[in-house]
């Protein structure tokens, strides 16, 4: 027996090799500061944990969930979007429950496209978008997101050929890996672009809770006509430190929601009902825990940037997410610099080229360790003498 040809074509998991390298270093007894991960380090808030504990004692939650999820959960999602973004969502036709947003991102090319169809992906971008491309047997073109354009795609630079064949496009703000954010004007432009070219839009809003400097991230669905062209995917993993719980959802265009529900009808039986009740508590309860988490990430960001500037590293403070996108020193590729940091000073980072062609020249740093450890990481890097009295030039 052998794997199917489709599985053989799946991209190698980018983070798998990084995990192996870090694990090997730790096994040698080295004190590795791991800034390469995207795994929230703070615990799930107590009130959400207690909601799960209460729900799991109810035998009714041990039964199958309705295949499309609990109606109460969908209503909580609609209430959340109305409260946070003043967006009206029909809980019956415009919400799909997901076992984590990644599932929806991988499912949608299979659910909305035919083999040979084409989609647009940001470059750099979340590597697992490519899994949906392979499993959906579709093609893709990339939209470079570059520093000179605020890490937003420039639709005017896409050729007529690329625009004419694209049927679906992915966006992600606050952005992984760059930490950039998008404003309402950009989303209005996106809606107009999508309508003119008959392209469906999928907005990955995984880091929607984390905008810095007093600026709340904008939801794509706040743009006029957004629900006419696409959907937004949200996850509780980041907002409520529920990464291992695997709870997310999609909201927006009813046909997208129908497609997700149909494919999931053949793959899943929704998610454990007790998890859904805990998610209801997360969305409906006081959001102080979210404000506190945002403040933690912003403080860590400030510590990282302050230390980087102190040693002469010309970095730009991310506007959102819990990642920083840092230029590598001249004379190094992204992978060479990442390997050097792990080998010489026991600091693990994600090489930018793992996120796409236009990620070359950068590394991604996660704000997922304490301020003290972030400062210590930069002090270790300082010892390499790569930034002595001159700033790195950003790509």
Mean pLDDT calculated for residue range 82-105 = 97
What is the domain partition of the chain in residue ranges? 5-44+288-382, 63-284
Task: Find out whether the peptide bond into 177 is cis, omega within 30 degrees of 0.
Answer: yes
**Would you say 242 and 95 are in contact if contact means Cβ atoms under 8 Å apart?**
no
Secondary-structure class of domain 63-284 per CATH: alpha beta
**DSSP labels for 71-115?**
HHHHHHHHHHHHHHH-----TTTSEEEESSHHHHHHHHHHHH--T
Q: Do β-strands 166-172 and 200-204 pair in parallel, antiparallel, or remain unpaired?
A: parallel
Average the pLDDT over 96-109 and give the result.
96
* 129-171 residue pLDDT tens: 999 999 999 999 999 999 999 999 999 999 999 999 999 999 9
Helix axes 273-284, 71-85, angle to 10 degrees: 20
Distance CA 7, CA 344 (A): 36
119, pLDDT greater than 80: yes
Tell me the whole-structure pTM to 2 decimals: 0.95
Per-residue model confidence (pLDDT) at position 13: 78
Sequence-distant (≥ 6) Cβ neighbours of residue 259 within 8 angstroms: 108, 111, 112
Average pLDDT for the chain: 95
Check whether 218 has a pLDDT greater than 50: yes
Q: Which residue from 148, 150, 142 is spatially nearest to 166, judged by alpha carbons?
A: 142
Burial 150-163 (b: 16+ CB within 10 A, else e): bbbbebeebeeeeb
Rounded distance between C-alpha atoms, residue 362 and residue 155, angstroms: 23
Task: Give the whole-angstrom CA distance, residue 339 versus residue 30.
Answer: 15
How does pLDDT run across 280-329, given as a tens digit for each residue?
A: 999 999 999 999 999 999 999 999 999 999 999 999 999 999 999 999 99
Q: Exposed/middle/buried for 29, CB within 10 Å: 0-12, 13-18, 19+?
A: exposed
How far, in Å, CA of 371 to CA of 244, rounded? 24
Residue 395 clears pLDDT 60, i.e. is over it: no
**What is the per-residue pLDDT across 171-208, written as a single tens digit (0 to 9) for each?**
999 999 999 999 999 999 999 999 999 999 999 999 99
E strands in the chain: 33-34, 95-98, 118-123, 139-144, 166-172, 200-204, 230-235, 248-252, 323-327, 347-348, 350-351, 362-366
Which class is domain 5-44+288-382? alpha beta
Instruction: Please state, in angstroms and rounded to a whole number, the distance separating the CA atoms of residues 368 and 36.
Output: 9
Give the number of other Cβ atoms within 10 Å of residue 128's Cβ.
14
Within 10 angstroms of residue 213's Cβ, the number of other Cβ atoms is 11
For residue 14, the model assigns a pLDDT of 78
Asked if the model's pLDDT at residue 392 lies above 50, the reply is: no
Residue 394 pLDDT greater than 90, yes or no: no
Q: What is the pLDDT of residue 27?
A: 94
Structure tokens at 51: 């909601």
């Amino acid at each position: 027996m052998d794997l199917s040809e489709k599985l053989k074509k799946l991209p190698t998991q980018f983070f798998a090799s990084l995990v192996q390298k870090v694990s090997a270093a730790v096994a040698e007894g080295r004190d590795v500061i791991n800034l390469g991960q995207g795994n929230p380090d703070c615990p799930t808030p107590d009130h959400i944990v207690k909601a799960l504990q209460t729900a799991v004692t109810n035998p009714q939650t041990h039964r199958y969930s309705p295949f499309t999820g609990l109606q109460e959960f969908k209503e909580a999602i609609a209430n959340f979007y109305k409260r946070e973004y003043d967006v009206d969502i029909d809980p019956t036709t415009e919400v799909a429950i997901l076992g984590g947003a990644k599932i929806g991102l991988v499912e949608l090319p299979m659910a909305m496209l035919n083999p040979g169809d084409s989609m647009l992906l940001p470059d750099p971008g979340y590597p697992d978008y490519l899994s949906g491309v392979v499993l959906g047997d579709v093609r893709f073109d990339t939209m470079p997101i570059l520093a000179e354009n605020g890490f937003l795609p420039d639709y005017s630079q896409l050729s007529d050929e690329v625009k004419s064949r694209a049927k679906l496009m992915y966006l992600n703000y606050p952005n992984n890996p760059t930490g950039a954010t998008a404003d309402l004007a950009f989303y209005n432009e996106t809606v107009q672009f999508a309508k003119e070219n008959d392209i469906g839009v999928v907005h990955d809003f995984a880091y929607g809770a984390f905008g810095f400097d007093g600026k709340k991230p904008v939801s794509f669905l706040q743009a006029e006509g957004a629900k006419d062209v696409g959907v937004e995917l949200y996850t509780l993993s980041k907002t409520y430190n529920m990464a291992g719980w695997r709870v997310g959802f999609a909201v927006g265009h009813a046909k997208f929601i129908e497609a997700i529900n149909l494919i999931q009808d053949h793959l899943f039986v929704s998610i454990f009902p007790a998890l859904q009740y805990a998610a209801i508590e997360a969305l409906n309860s006081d959001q102080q825990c979210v404000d506190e988490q945002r403040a933690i990430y912003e403080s860590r960001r400030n510590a990282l940037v302050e230390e980087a500037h102190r040693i002469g590293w010309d970095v730009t403070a991310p506007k959102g997410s819990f990642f920083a996108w840092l230029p590598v020193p001249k004379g190094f590729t992204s992978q060479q610099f990442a390997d050097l940091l792990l080998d010489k000073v026991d600091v693990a980072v994600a090489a930018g080229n793992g996120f796409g062609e236009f990620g070359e020249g950068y590394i991604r740093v996660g704000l997922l360790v304490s301020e003290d450890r972030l400062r210590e990481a930069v002090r270790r890097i300082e010892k390499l003498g790569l930034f002595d009295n001159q700033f790195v030039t950003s790509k």
